Amino acid sequence: MRDFGVLEQEVLIADFAAACREAGFRDIRINTLVYAIPGFELTPEQWQSWTRRVSSKRPVRALRKIALAFAEIFGIGKRSFLFEEAFSMSVLRALRHASEDHPIIVASKMGPGRPEMPLRRSARIEIAMPDRIPKATSFPVRARLNNRGSTAWQAVSRSGIGHVTLGVQLLDDGGRLLTRDYHRVPLPRDVAAGSSLDVSFNCPAPDASGSYKLKFDLVAEGVTWFEVAGSPTVTSRLTVV
């Protein structure tokens, strides 16, 4: 929320399950593995047990594991305090069968490890701008943009979605987001992967005096900021007088 100005409503599973029961729903299940591997659903009571287990501290967990080990010898408690272990074994068995039925095998001659794949959207940004300006004016900015991703940047799109622009976010001196869509700079042309582009533009100054920061990032309009994909951004300090 600090970086992107997104406000999301948190869903509390236990409260939502209770509300469903109050509304008259008789059977409530929490899908833990979504629909990739069907058949693994939890009742609200099992979810509460799982949540308590995850939230427990290490000493308590260790003692509990010792008790569970004794219970496992005799195969008791599968529906209560041994639920987590029984569920984990069921997941492992299901994953094994899924892997055997639909195997995905990757072989490489390069030895252990996998080569890093280039990010689809990645940029190197260099900014040159003044650090002190009058309020309610505009100031010159020079930007060098290098396409370090695996796809070209389109300067224009027919749908108005997906083309790339240079985005400027306004932050306060502490780095807190003030205006996410503070300024946009269209690209004069497409930029192929591995190519660079120099852009000069005038950026509006804040109306109030003070210390600010400007954060520069590329934007695939209507899709995402490049930062979300791991692309580095550039932040410059700005004093407005």
Same domain, 182 and 129: yes
Query: Which helix or strand (DSSP H or E) is residue 203 part of?
Result: strand 196-204
Q: Is residue 110 part of a domain?
A: no
Give the count of beta carbons closer than 10 Å to the beta carbon of residue 88.
Answer: 10
- The dihedral region occupied by 133, where left means phi > 0, alpha psi between -120 and 50, and beta the remainder, is beta
Residue 69, pLDDT score: 67
Q: Is residue 131 part of a domain?
A: yes
Q: Is residue 1 part of a domain?
A: no
Q: Is residue 114 part of a domain?
A: no
Same domain, 92 and 154: no
Same domain, 172 and 234: yes
Residue 34, pLDDT score: 52
SS3 21: helix
Residue range(s) defining the domain that contains residue 224: 123-240
Same domain, 83 and 150: no
Tokens for 168, please give them.
């400027």
Give the count of beta carbons closer than 10 Å to the beta carbon of residue 226.
Answer: 25
Same domain, 88 and 152: no
Query: Is the CA virtual torsion 232, 200, 138, 166 positive or negative?
Result: negative
Same domain, 42 and 78: yes
Same domain, 88 and 162: no
Residue 148, pLDDT score: 94
Per-residue pLDDT of the chain (241 residues; tens, 9 = 90+): 455 555 555 667 777 778 887 888 877 776 655 545 555 566 777 777 767 666 666 676 667 667 666 666 665 555 554 556 666 666 666 666 665 666 566 565 555 555 555 678 999 999 999 999 999 999 999 999 999 998 999 999 988 899 999 999 999 999 999 999 999 999 999 999 999 999 999 999 999 999 999 999 999 999 999 998 889 999 999 999 9
Same domain, 137 and 180: yes
> How far is residue 219's CA from residue 232's CA, in Å, rounded to a whole number?
12
Q: Is residue 118 part of a domain?
A: no
Return the closest-CA partner of residue 215 out of 164, 177, 163: 177
Residue spans of alpha helices (H) in 24-142: 44-55, 58-74, 83-101
Same domain, 137 and 186: yes
Q: Is residue 91 part of a domain?
A: yes
Number of domains in the chain: 2
Same domain, 90 and 135: no
Same domain, 180 and 223: yes
Same domain, 141 and 226: yes
